[in-house]
Structure 1
Amino acid sequence: MPRKIEYTVPEDYDGIKAVTFLRSKCGVSSRLVGKLKKQEDGILLNGERIRTIDKLKAGAKLEINIPDEGGVPEPVSAPLDIIYEDSDILVINKSPFTAMHPTHNHQGDTLANAVAAYLLEKGQGGSFRAVGRLDKGTSGVVVCALNRLSASKLNGKIKKEYLALVQGTLSGSGVIDVPIYRPDPMKTLRACSYEKGVETAVTNWTAVENFENASLIRLNLETGRTHQIRVHMAHTGHPLAGDSYYGSFMPQYRHQLLHCEKCSFIHPVTDEKVELTAPLPADFEAALLKLRSGGI
């Protein structure tokens, strides 16, 4: 479903071209402006179609109608833990057993399929635009943009905080600044290396709670490399619980105990700050309770 957004032209944009207002004030990408000006109702001023070079008057109502484009995955109904929703974004607490997108191993059982079905049931079609991604075994906050404008403005602008249960006792805080690379292009496995041509990767961590041979830590990323937290913690000798890719700590858990707990961002349309929290999945919570009682 196309998204209509209306702006009131402020005094300081009186006499300014529509394209300048859309790009600098509204944050509309040049690519989207190009698409809007080709539509019959793409850009309207007080209800009338205008050109992007036309000048605006303070107090006028400028309306854009964002087209609904992009590939739509097969809609397959599945439970969604929705923690926030409006006309522009949908925020979900992802299960640790759900893949983000369809692949040769996952057809119809992904978050993309479930979101497509949910939007279809609401009469609101559209492609799946997750802003950032989580590994299949990682749970927590996933922000989905419901239109091209939201996707463009949120890209790279979402701050996230993660919780992880790792092997060993950690105290205080630290920074892991070690490049990451892909040893085998045919596999998803990553590793740390200082060789030329690898990707910069920086992870910040803070200890939250200690147990006999494990620690709950909070992390945030300065870069967003594939498997970054998992690779960095394993590299420092503190692999994640349940992470069979990069360690063998607490193998009784079927996935890495890594959870994207918090996110914050500036709303792409209202410009208000949004802060959201996703509760831990049941097995992660149970692991902490067991450790607090002296078990493992």
Structure 2
Amino acid sequence: MALFHYKTQEDNMTVEHLLKDKWLGGKKTVHLMRMAKSVLDAKGEPVDDWKGPLAAGTELVFTFPDATSTYVPDDNVELTVLFEDEHILAVVKPAGISTHPDGPRDTGTLMNAVMAYVQKNGGDYAEHIHRLDKGTSGVVLIAKHPISKSLFDRMIENNDISRKYIAEVDGYLKRPKGTIRLPIGRDRHHPAKRLVSMSGQSAITNFRMIERKENTTIVEADLETGRTHQIRVHLSHLGHPVTGDTLYEGSETEDGKYRLTATAVSFIHPFTEEQTLIEMK
């Protein structure tokens, strides 16, 4: 069962307002929670009056008895946990594995490893909030209950989650910093590839140079949008593809991996309302 504890932070807050307006819970989720009497008081008794005003500091427990995820648990995938509370989990995805499986019986992905971890700790629910390309390593956020999933999905859509990356790119990048505002669309000649296309979706990448090496440059990038392969496409378009990213004309590396890591995410936590920074150690 997924659940979380919460103390109301102001007078006259209602359960209905919390779920529908403050946390933007979907109609289906809220309806199912109401039918299942999923909101409990500090004594573990169901709260029946969802429109009744509550005093600040009222303790509530929100439960999701039917919230389960179907990923097959897999202990064979390395999992590094960077952050965890009742609402989210932040983990490191290694380069070379997918964020999630393509089919219900697939294993060997990050979400299979997350499911094994969650089940060991008594949970049944875990859903990724965003994804990283198979060859990209770094921080991935996981929702631990449906309301968290709904809220963080909305935050991703509204660009309320800042995501930073470190990339090593080919060549000598002359500009110390800049912003790339170029739309990205599908490459109709290559189904796995994206390209800068005026008919594509808007995409904005900010970057700054960190270090210049003999044949490559280290840059930090952050995204204002989250298009597929965005950093890889934008940097390649500048003439400085990610080192090792042969799909986008990057030079080959000895291990066959490309040099792109999602190093940090930051956001205002929707449940604690605290500024939260999660970064690679």
Counterpart check, 1:266 vs 2:268: yes
1:83 paired residue number: 82
Q: In 1, Cα distance between the equivalents of 2:19 and 2:190?
A: 42
Aligned residues: 270
2:139 paired residue number: 141
Paired residues for 1:52-67 under 5 Å: 52=50, 54-59=51-56, 60-67=58-65
Paired residues for 1:211-290 under 5 Å: 211-279=213-281
Counterpart check, 1:117 vs 2:121: no
Tell me which amino acid in the other structure corresponds to 1:221. Answer: L
Deviation at 1:58, TM superposition (A): 2.2
- Structure 1: gaps (5+ residues): 280-296
Asked if 1 retains the 8 angstrom alpha-carbon contact of 2:168 and 2:219, the reply is yes
Counterpart check, 1:19 vs 2:16: yes
TM-score by length of 1: 0.83
Distance 1:18 1:107, change over 3 A: closer
1:162 paired residue number: 165
Q: In 2, Cα distance between the equivalents of 1:3 and 1:259?
A: 32
Deviation at 1:116, TM superposition (A): 1.1
Question: Identity across aligned pairs (percent)?
Answer: 32
Of 130-139 and 253-262, deviating more is 253-262
Q: In 1, Cα distance between the equivalents of 2:236 and 2:141?
A: 27
Asked if 1 retains the 8 angstrom alpha-carbon contact of 2:4 and 2:86, the reply is no
Counterpart check, 1:183 vs 2:187: yes
Larger radius of gyration between Structure 1 and Structure 2: 1
Q: In 1, Cα distance between the equivalents of 2:239 and 2:190?
A: 26
Of 58-67 and 83-92, deviating more is 58-67
Tell me which amino acid in the other structure corresponds to 1:92. Answer: V
Asked if 2 retains the 8 angstrom alpha-carbon contact of 1:68 and 1:147, the reply is no
Tell me which amino acid in the other structure corresponds to 2:147. Answer: L
Deviation at 1:244, TM superposition (A): 1.3
- Structure 2: gaps (5+ residues): none
Q: In 1, Cα distance between the equivalents of 2:187 and 2:264?
A: 31
Counterpart check, 1:103 vs 2:92: no
TM-score by length of 2: 0.87
Q: For 2:29, which of 21, 32, 35 is the aligned residue?
A: 32
Asked if 2 retains the 8 angstrom alpha-carbon contact of 1:44 and 1:62, the reply is yes
